[in-house]
Amino acid sequence: MAGFILIVVAALFFPGVILRTKSIASGRKGPGIFQPWKDLSLLLRKGSVFSDTTGLIFKIAPSITLATVIGAMLFLPFAQQKALLSFEGDFIMFAYLLALGKFFTIIAALDTGSSFEGMGASREALFSMLVEPAFFILMATFAMFTGYTSFSVIFNHFFITGNDYVLIYSIIGAYLLVQITMIENSRLPVDDPKTHLELTMIHEVMILDYSGFDKALIHIAGYLKFAIYGSLIYNLVVPAGWNVILQIGLFFAVQVLFAGVIGFTESFRARNKMNKNPKFILTLSSIALIAFMVILILTEKLA
Amino acid sequence: MSSNRYKVVRNGSSPAGFSEIPVLGYELFHEEVTSMLADERYHCLNYSCFRSGEGFRFICVIADDGSGEIRILSHIKKDDGTPLRSLTASCYAMHIFEREIYENHGVLFDDHPWLKPVRYPHDRADRLSVMDNYPFYEMDSEELHEVGVGPIHAGVIEPGHFRFICNGERVLHLEIQLGYQHRGIEKLFVSAGDGLHRALLSENIAGDSAVAHGLAHAQLLESLAGLEPPVSLQIERCIALELERIGVHIGDTAALCGDVAYQLGQVACEALRTMVINTTQFWCGNRFGKGLIRPGGSNFPLTEESAAEILRVLEEVDRRYANVTDCIYSLPSVLGRFEDIGIVTRKQATSIGAVGMAARTCGVPRDIRATHPFQYYRKMEINPVMQETGDVLARGMLRALEVRESVKIIRRLIENWRNCAKETGRPQYDLRFRPDCLAVSVTEGWRGEICHVAVTDNDGKLVMYKIKDPSMHNWMALALAVRNQEISDFPVCNKSFNLSYCGNDL
């Protein structure tokens, strides 16, 4: 339960911190931390407008996306507390719940019949497919390392296996998760959330036809997803056995730092060329694969 | 030296009397124009016609970049609906002019590859052709798809429709359909009541080139009136033109960075641009230099205080912009987006008659300040900045280098201004024009050459006013640049040219 609540709280300030970091990095003061949510409250009070070409799929997709994200949150543990839902192999359920939400966003985009949205959907589908192995290989590495296949148990055992290499794996894991978050949440260098140019968009163009309440749901799902990945990273780097008060402090510190890193990276680099993206994403899988092989050798499972 | 086939004038010199312009038979005209344009040193400044008597009088203005001459050719066609043999078939650069003539007067051209109107004005010749039934170029295939962008865009830009035919992410063909900004500005020039009205119109042909268009107009009227502006006024106009160039180039650098999501470059350049255009405001009260260029004189003669402010700001801008551009054009992630993207080859550039920046980035030295100098540039040596690769990077680098060059030019101009007699007078809105003649005025705006042509009747009244913005030629360069590129690179290609919609639509 604690994990669930903390993620919700983190999602409240996460987008604001990114925005603020980017503003400060560009020499501006920037809006308040809660500005994104103030904008949302405005959207939530508005009705939605639907185009004639859209059907049922388009209308239910935002709710399904939000539901899957909330569903995925149930699997994340905090400290030594077990997650609300936990069973063997739950990280597979976690990944495919998120994928289900994405699937609905994609077919909803196709439902509009717009050529832009079709392009965006095709790009999103390709990049999500490419990033999937990276996540699974990474999780497999941790499963192999600890000998368990559930988030709650893996993270409970991660720091206390007493292996000297654990720090290195935490760092590799954190790095990969940061990059996966950037891709999954359509940030630089793969996507640019700020752009107004439909032809270059990936995620933004898919939700172009949404307005009002539905648009707010999509944004909320996006903010929660950030906090979910932030929470995963936190679980990787902070041992589960520490004092709970300290843990809560550290949890928010990690989330703020994570948001800051995203904001900072986005300020000082340009976006990838579209056809470089597959290569960039596959690199993550290769890094994960190398980590996996090393684990196999270390745990002497490869003779 | 004048041939019996054409009349030679110089940029901003006294106008050509109509009796001096030889009228050729169409075959001879066709041969003469084709043979001239086959040589790269010639390019067409304007080709248009106006109704005279029972037919159309065609005027073709061709610039000779080698000698600085401007040649005027002419032919007359009866209004009998018979088609003319198209010039476009042998020199592509003429396509836009013939399309414009077709749009305005319904004159048909025989083997023009694609005779469609440039825009859809309310007084167009063919009433039945409207934007709604316009047949876009199509390719029939299961694997290809079309993407239509605009005319309403997500950003704060002008309206224009872009129709892509793509194979997946790759663009096979781009058709650009403009005309949404048409205001009938050429007709307004003819019907305008007084000089002030016309001066205001000229500044609003394209808002980002207020000074360049204003100057082309002022120069044209002064030429028609036989007025030579005093040296101090000439220098002031050149300073204004260079300030405009610096301001827009820096703003474009910001926009280029914005398109590839490089925030640092964007905000740094935006701040610098503000400093430059605020300096223009300090001088004349308007950030875009509106109100600064007037025929015969100026409402805002340069003062020692303004000159000192310009020098002070440029000193800082020059230094900081050099730092920023060094940073931008050495960042791998930015280079990855600019290098080898949207290439226009030298051959393409010359065949479509690209002018200004678009030409200079592919190694074609077209700079009116150097080849057909006007105002105080006549007394200066201008070395056009050149790039060879013709890609987005070249267009970005060209801006960076031209800003440096312009800062140097302004320093020299201000130095000369300090040593010359300050004779800048008040604007003259009641200039009397020489009757029955034709005047040509060309300036080099930041985007490229701007050509204004005017014709007077036997009372000295304007009967035709033609404007040619560099965008007229260069939109074609954009269409060629995005072929075989990724569709997601179109915005950055578009921004690297930054062509004018309203300058094209008039």
d(CA B101, CA B95): 10
Q: Do A270 and B331 touch (CB under 8 A)?
A: yes
Return the pLDDT at A301: 66
Asked, as a colleague might, if the bond just before A189 is cis with ω within 30 of 0, I would say yes
Q: What is the DSSP string of A97-129?
A: HHHHHHHHHHHHHHHTT-HHHHHHHHHHHHHHH
Return the pLDDT at B1: 44
Mean pLDDT of chain B: 89
CB contacts, 8 Å: B330 with chain A: none
- DSSP assigned state of B436: S
In tens, the pLDDT along B467-494 reads 999 999 899 999 999 999 999 999 999 9
In tens, the pLDDT along B84-104 reads 888 888 888 889 999 888 888
Q: What mean pLDDT is predicted for residues B252-262?
A: 93
CB atoms within 10 A of CB A279: 10
Mutate to test the interface with B, among A197, A279, A280 (most CBs of B within 10 A): A197
A27: nearest CA partner in chain B: B267
Q: Do B337 and A270 touch (CB under 8 A)?
A: yes
Tell me which residue in A115, A192, A200 faces B146 most closely, judged by beta carbons.
A115
pLDDT winner (highest mean) among A181-185, B108-112, B155-159: A181-185
Distance from CA of A125 to the nearest CA of B (A): 14
In tens, the pLDDT along B450-472 reads 999 999 888 888 888 999 999 99
- Domain containing A15 equals 2-26+33-298
Tokens for B233, please give them: 């006024």
Q: Do B264 and A267 touch (CB under 8 A)?
A: yes
Q: What angle do the packed helices A2-25 and A56-73 form, to 10 degrees? A: 110
Mutate to test the interface with B, among A199, A262, A265 (most CBs of B within 10 A): A199
d(CA A136, CA B177): 48
Q: What mean pLDDT is predicted for residues B245-253?
A: 95
Whole-angstrom CA distances from B231 to B237, B382, B425 are 10, 18, 11
In tens, the pLDDT along B396-455 reads 999 999 999 999 999 999 999 989 888 888 888 888 888 888 899 999 999 999 999 999
pLDDT band at B172 (very low <50, low <70, confident <90, very high): very high
Among B123-127, B176-180, B263-267, B438-442, where is mean pLDDT lowest?
A: B123-127
CB contacts, 8 Å: A267 with chain B: 263-264
Among A219-233, B142-156, B287-301, B373-387, where is mean pLDDT lowest?
A: B142-156
Which amino acid is residue B288, in one-letter code? F
Return the pLDDT at A302: 59
A193: nearest CA partner in chain B: B261
Return the pLDDT at B165: 93
Residues of chain A with pLDDT under 50: none
Return the pLDDT at A163: 66
In tens, the pLDDT along B188-211 reads 998 887 889 999 999 999 989 999
Q: Which helix (H) or strand (E) holds A176?
A: helix A166-184
CB contacts, 8 Å: B342 with chain A: none
Tell me which residue in B261, B264, B333 faces A195 most closely, judged by beta carbons.
B261
Q: Do A268 and B486 touch (CB under 8 A)?
A: no
Q: Do B261 and A270 touch (CB under 8 A)?
A: yes
Residue A70 domain flag: yes
Residues of chain A whose beta carbon is less than 8 angstroms from a beta carbon of chain B are 22, 25-28, 115-116, 118-119, 188-189, 192, 194-200, 266-276
Cα B447-B452-B457 angle, rounded to 5 deg: 175
Residue B332 has pLDDT above 50, yes or no: yes
Return the pLDDT at B433: 87
CB contacts, 8 Å: A21 with chain B: none
Q: What mean pLDDT is predicted for residues B306-334?
A: 94
Tell me if chain A has a CB within 8 Å of the CB of B486.
yes
Tell me if chain A has a CB within 8 Å of the CB of B149.
yes
Burial zone of B197 (CB within 10 Å; 0-12 exposed, 13-18 middle, 19+ buried): middle
Whole-angstrom CA distances from A77 to A3, A241, B238 are 5, 13, 69
d(CA A90, CA A73): 12
Residue A303 domain flag: no
CB contacts, 8 Å: B486 with chain A: 273-275
Return the pLDDT at A282: 93
- B218 Cβ partners below 8 Å, 6+ apart? B199, B202, B237, B293, B294, B295, B296
Q: Do A270 and B264 touch (CB under 8 A)?
A: no
Burial zone of A236 (CB within 10 Å; 0-12 exposed, 13-18 middle, 19+ buried): buried
Q: Do B487 and A199 touch (CB under 8 A)?
A: yes
CB contacts, 8 Å: B147 with chain A: 115-116, 119, 199
Return the pLDDT at B501: 92
pLDDT band at B151 (very low <50, low <70, confident <90, very high): confident
- B231 Cβ partners below 8 Å, 6+ apart? B376, B420, B421, B423
Return the pLDDT at B136: 84
Residues in chain B: 506
CB contacts, 8 Å: A27 with chain B: 267, 271
- B430 Cβ partners below 8 Å, 6+ apart? B194, B195
Cα A38-A40-A41 angle, rounded to 5 deg: 65
Tell me which residue in B146, B334, B488 faces A270 most closely, judged by beta carbons.
B334
Sorted by where each starts, the structural domains of chain B and their CATH numbers stand as 7-118 (3.30.460.80), 210-468 (1.10.645.10)
Return the pLDDT at B55: 86
A123: nearest CA partner in chain B: B169
Burial zone of B111 (CB within 10 Å; 0-12 exposed, 13-18 middle, 19+ buried): exposed
B334: nearest CA partner in chain A: A270
Tell me which residue in B169, B266, B491 faces A197 most closely, judged by beta carbons.
B491
How many folded domains does chain A comprise? Answer: 1
- Strand order from edge to edge, sheet including B170-177: B145-149, B161-167, B170-177
Mutate to test the interface with B, among A273, A275, A280 (most CBs of B within 10 A): A273
A114: nearest CA partner in chain B: B147
Residue A171 domain flag: yes
Cα B335-B336-B341 angle, rounded to 5 deg: 95
Among A266-275, B85-94, B127-136, B381-390, where is mean pLDDT lowest?
A: B127-136
Q: Which residues pair with B464 in a beta bridge?
A: B455
Strands (E), B243-319: none
d(CA A179, CA A157): 24
Give residue A38's region: left, alpha or beta (phi > 0; psi -120 to 50).
alpha
Q: Do B331 and A189 touch (CB under 8 A)?
A: no
ipTM of this complex prediction, to 2 decimal places = 0.87
